[in-house]
Amino acid sequence: MERVVIKIGGSLLSGSQDDVLSYLHGLSSALAGLNNYSLGFVVGGGDTASKYVSLARELGINEYDQDLLGIMATRMNAKLIASFFPDAWPEIITSVDDARTLFEHGKIPVMGGTVPGHTTNTVAALLAEAVGARLVNLTNVDGIYDKDPRENEDAKKFDRIDYDTLISLAAEYDSREARAHFVFDLLASKVVARSGIELHIVDGRDFETVKNAILGKPHNGTVVGE
Ligand code: UTP
């Protein structure tokens, strides 16, 4: 069975309770019936992570402990997904190795973060690398642009880009001040590039596109590949 790792951006699980409830119901309908695919999920921390990380920063707590707080937030979101999706393995998986073992037993692992120093984009890239999967990144923008679409009205969306372009865009944003972050971080970009992982960046709220990306069909997002 073809393997697909799905990264659920934390921003999709942020906002009001009604927003999150309707998002989760929509996503679970979009994922229904994908029985011919072996899936794994990695979930971001969203506004819960931001709240705790910025509180910790204000308190002068060190970066390592800020990351640990961020990881805990990702795991809370992961637990919500693991408990809500009926076919998912109910315990949160905390290492890529354990997630791979579940994949190999035909189960559906759900992870948040793993260790300090990176983000769940990197966790998702490493999991895709370990199990030989395509990676579908569900986020709150509809693809990769040549410049920040929030600041530039004339920004142009790419349908498809190669790894070198992904890395140079991620590097450009990586060197900017905190919080202005690119849709897929630099380390994660380097992992997908080194292993030739096909990466789909899609608007997680566009369920038709989400489904098409998982099925490997044309969609409205951006595909990163050779
Ligand atoms: P996220 O992966 O949610 O960060 O991790 P993000 O970039 O905000 O994610 P998305 O793209 O919106 O989903 C939140 C924080 O948790 C810590 C980092 O501090 C990160 O910024 N973290 C997460 C780790 O230290 N290690 C991990 O493996 C994951």
Which tokens sit at 106? 């035909």
Residues 133 and 5: their CA atoms lie apart, in Å, by 6
Torsion of CA 168, 199, 132, 75, to 10 degrees: 90
Q: For every one of its 226 residues, what pLDDT tens digit does the chain have, with 9 covering 90 and above?
A: 999 999 999 999 999 999 999 999 999 999 998 989 999 999 999 999 999 999 999 999 999 999 999 999 999 999 999 999 999 999 999 999 999 999 999 999 999 999 999 999 999 999 999 999 999 999 999 999 998 888 889 999 999 999 999 999 999 887 655 445 788 999 999 999 999 999 999 999 999 999 999 999 999 999 999 9
Q: Is the CB of 10 under 6 A from ligand 1?
A: yes
Residues 42 and 64: their CA atoms lie apart, in Å, by 21
**Residue linked to tokens 């990176």:** 118
CA 70 / ligand 1 centre spacing (Å)? 6
From 74, 75, 183, the mutation candidate for ligand 1 (largest count of ligand atoms within 8 A of CB) is 74
Decide if 204 contacts 138 (C-beta within 8 A).
yes
Residues 118 and 39: their CA atoms lie apart, in Å, by 22
Q: Does the global pTM surpass 0.75?
A: yes
Cα angle 55-126-53, degrees, rounded to a multiple of 5: 0
Residues 70 and 64: their CA atoms lie apart, in Å, by 10
Q: Is the CB of 70 under 6 A from ligand 1?
A: yes
Counting atoms of ligand 1 from 1, which one is nearest the CA of 74? 3
Q: Is the CB of 143 under 6 A from ligand 1?
A: no
CATH class of 2-224: alpha beta
